[in-house]
Amino acid sequence: MTPLLQLFILIPLIGFLISLLIPGKKETLISWTAFTVVGLHFGTFLVFVIYWLLHNHPTLNLKDIVVFKTEGYEFLVDFCFDKITAVYLFVGAFLTFLVTVYSRYYLHREAGYKRFFNTILFFYLGYNIAIFAGNFETLFIGWEILGICSFLLIAFYRDRYLPVKNAIKVFSVYRIGDVGLILAMWMAHHLWHLNITFLQLRNDELVHSELETHSLIGVFISLMILVTAAVKSAQLPFSSWLPRAMEGPTPSSAIFYGSLSVHMGVFLLLRTFELWEHQTSVRILIAILGLSTSIVATLIARVQSSVKSQIAYSSISQIGLIFIEVACGFEKLALFHFAGNAFLRTYQLLVSPSVVSYLIREQFYNFIPRKQTIEDSFPKKIEYSFYTLSLKEWNLDLFLNSILWNPIKFLGRRLDFLTIKRLLLLFIPAYIIGLITLYTKPTIPSEIHEYLPTFFSFIGLIMVFKAFTERKSIVLSWMLIIMNHFWIALAVSFNENFEYSQVHLYLSGVIVAGIIGYICLLKLQSAEKDLDLNQFYGHSYEHPKLAFIFLLSCLGLAGFPITPTFIGEDVIFTHVHEDQAILAFFTALSLIINGIVLIKMYARIFLGPHIKTYHETPYKSS
């Protein structure tokens, strides 16, 4: 029974690869391929789950592929199947099947017809990897695939301004969650000194014996998991990204932000429940977060003028209640609530265009005055204050900007003196000096050696801050990202004696992706003379192949699964010690921000309204 778990990954993977080879003009073949793949997957699951239930529904675990192995570390792809996976797979397979059927007609003759179904199948692959994941590394692979698919589907109408802008916003918030997951993986490795699986978390002797003596580390891991779950499920203070994600086509909004992707935070909490179930403070925090999100999201939903936004905030409110159920240990109730919310929101989003049309017509003939609500019993000042706050969505965007993005922009703008020439004159010699000190470590005083890794990672962080705010030179921003990776590799290399082949694996992906992306930029600059990062250019319209290659380069440089950069990032994090919190934070922050910078570069160069006036300019909003 256990080897059959591979089928649930192979079917969507093969379907996705086949869909890439079908010409874009053959709509019927594209849609039937997606329809057949998802239907076959759903049918296989139904047969498998009946057989599994008849055999007393055992928990299955499959150690599938050892991707990379060194002394003291093993990067392995691990799959498991239990009742949590079964519920998520049933809901995911059934709803993806329905949305695939719906999309065949909804997107008929749409310019991005093939692109949509390619992305849906890629999303379905990532979703299956995530829910079948048996350890954090495998989960992170699926997690990253879901993130990039979100960006591509929100920016589906890539010749419009708002979808592309909101896609960047959503992806940027997603990357905050990635920081939490990376730091949780890092500390979990140092706590148990192995690549711990989710099934091993159910071993009380293994888990709680360590947590009793390292309670603060256990709380840190749990809080990082909570941050990741809150971001993915749009809980406070990250709730504002979900309505922005509704700029994509209605089917993708239904399957992503109504049903599947938005509930992955709940899945993460359920999967790691045994880790934090005895940490009362964490459980209280999860419940408070869920309750406050539910109240605030309900208030915002009641004043929304857009039906999609109203559904989005209603879904956030229900997920807040599911967080409370998980915190209380009601696993079965949380799974049942997830399934009900997913089906309801998918239905609401798919029928929303028809409902809006009906209500607009109906209001002229059957006007019904607004009924008295509970808010009418409040004093008017309080009622109006809540109303104004809800209209402004409780200033959640402003809050995130003020505590996160604006400080990074402020620091980046202080580095405007950096040009390509100064970068070459100052930082390359500095890096060479750093390499010399690396190979002469025994001669360096221990007082200095202790601070060198943090210092070098800080230099890398400075570079990524500058790349985040760079607007004039595309080449400079690209070079800063590449050098950021090199400084990270240098910083971690100082930590302990290990085989430098691990660093070479990490940098090999950086170098290959960096060179390919640099060539793409040079070719584009030779064809389009004026090019910077001050606006959207929409060059994918005239250079689609170049746009695709550059996107792959950006993903390779950002450490997209399973590139050498991705594996290397995970490996080098194992050499960051548990007492080096600042180094771990600087490194994680660098890797996350450079992913945002790369996607923003791709979006500004290749997406948005075309800069040339002889192309049709669409309206700003969809």
Evaluate whether residue 263 is within a structural domain: yes
Whether residue 501 lies inside any domain: the answer is yes
Domain's final residue, options 346, 361, 376:
361
- At a CB cut-off of 8 Å and minimum separation 6, what does 451 contact? none
- The residue-averaged pLDDT of 62-68 equals 71
Instruction: For residue 75, list its beta bridge partners.
Output: 68
108 falls within a domain: yes
Does 184 lie in the same domain as 95? Answer: yes
Mean pLDDT of 22-31: 86
Question: Which one is predicted more confidently, 122 or 189?
Answer: 122
Position 171, amino acid: F
pLDDT value of position 365: 63
CA pair distance 561, 44, nearest whole angstrom? 26
Residues 492 and 586 in one domain: yes
Q: What average pLDDT does this structure show over 153-170? A: 87
Report the domain count for the chain.
2
Residues shown for the chain: 622
Helix, strand, coil shares of the chain, percent, nearest 5, are: 75, 5, 20
**pLDDT, position 338:** 92
Q: What is the pLDDT of residues 225-275, one digit of tens each?
A: 999 999 998 888 888 888 888 888 888 888 877 788 889 999 999 998 888
Contacts of the segment 329-338: beta carbons below 8 A, 24+ positions apart: 329/273, 329/277, 331/84, 331/270, 331/273, 334/266, 334/270, 335/83, 335/84, 335/87, 335/270, 338/87, 338/88, 338/91, 338/263, 338/266
pLDDT at residue 372 greater than cutoff 90: no
**Confidence class of residue 405 from pLDDT cuts 50, 70 and 90?**
confident
Lowest mean pLDDT among 6-20, 345-359, 504-518: 345-359
- Single out the residue in 298, 330, 361 at which a domain terminates: 361
**CA pair distance 308, 348, nearest whole angstrom:** 9
Of residues 504 and 45, which shows the higher confidence score?
45
Q: Express each pLDDT in 179-220 by its tens digit.
A: 888 888 888 887 777 777 888 888 777 777 777 777 788 888
463 in the same domain as 319: no
More confident residue, 530 or 550: 550
Sign of the CA dihedral 49, 53, 54, 58? positive
Q: What is the mean pLDDT of the chain?
A: 83
Q: Say how many CA atoms lie within 13 Å of 286 toward its Cβ.
A: 32
- Domain end (from 338, 361, 384): 361
90 pLDDT above the threshold of 90 = yes
Give the domain range for residue 258: 2-361
Structural domain contains residue 388 = no
Residue 17 lies in a domain: yes
Residues 337 and 425 in one domain: no
Looking at the structure, tell me whether residues 447 and 313 fall in a common domain: no
Domain identity same for 137 and 270 = yes
Task: Supply the pLDDT for residue 364.
Answer: 60
Type of residue at 335: L
pLDDT at residue 347 is higher than 70 = yes
Considering the domain architecture, whether residues 424 and 354 belong to the same structural domain is answered as: no
Please state, in angstroms and rounded to a whole number, the distance separating the CA atoms of residues 256 and 153: 9
Same-domain check for residues 82 and 220: yes
What integer is the mean pLDDT of 568-585? 77
pLDDT value for 89: 92
Say yes or no: 454 and 310 in one domain. Answer: no
User: Comparing C-alpha atoms, which of 82, 87, 96 is closest to residue 40?
Assistant: 96
Distance CA 574, CA 440 (A): 23
- pLDDT beyond 50 at 158: yes
Within a domain: residue 449? yes
Same domain, 320 and 432: no
Residue 211 in domain: yes
Tell me, what's the pLDDT at 622? 45
- The reply to whether omega before 562 is within 30° of 0 (cis) is yes
Angle at which helix 307-327 crosses helix 331-362, to 10 degrees, equals 170
Check whether residue 168 and residue 304 sit in a common domain: yes
How many beta carbons lie within 10 A of that of residue 320, not counting itself? Answer: 25
pTM of the model: 0.89
Q: Would you say residue 621 has pLDDT above 70?
A: no
User: Omega before 429 cis (within 30°)?
Assistant: no
Residue 367, domain member (yes or no): no
Distance CA 76, CA 146 (A): 20
Do 456 and 317 belong to one domain? no
Helix 501-527 to helix 564-573 angle, to the nearest 10 degrees? 140
**What is the full DSSP assignment across 363-401?**
TTTS--PPPP-GGGGS-HHHHHHHHHHHHTGGGHHHHHI
Residue 359 has pLDDT above 50, yes or no: yes
Q: How much of the chain exceeds pLDDT 90, in percent?
A: 17
Predicted local confidence at residue 113, as pLDDT: 87
